[in-house]
Amino acid sequence: MIGLLYTMVIGAVCGYIADVLMSDNAYGLITTIIIGIAGSFV
């Protein structure tokens, strides 16, 4: 259970960092965080 929480937090942080680093914010902050969480499971 804790591992799942860590995975979601790390994915959210990575999504936020990707949103900050990208100059073209086509998706928006919330969507980028959700994509980061989904990507952390892959």
**What is the three-state SS of the chain?**
CHHHHHHHHHHHHHHHHHHHHCCCCCCCHHHHHHHHHHHHHC
Q: Report the alpha-carbon distance of residue 42 to residue 36 in Å, rounded.
A: 10
Side-chain-side CA neighbours of residue 32 (13 Å): 16
- Is the pTM higher than 0.75? no
Tens of pLDDT along the chain (42 residues) come to 888 888 888 888 888 888 788 766 677 778 887 888 888 888
Neighbours of 19 (CB within 10 A): 18
Q: Which amino acid is at 24?
A: D
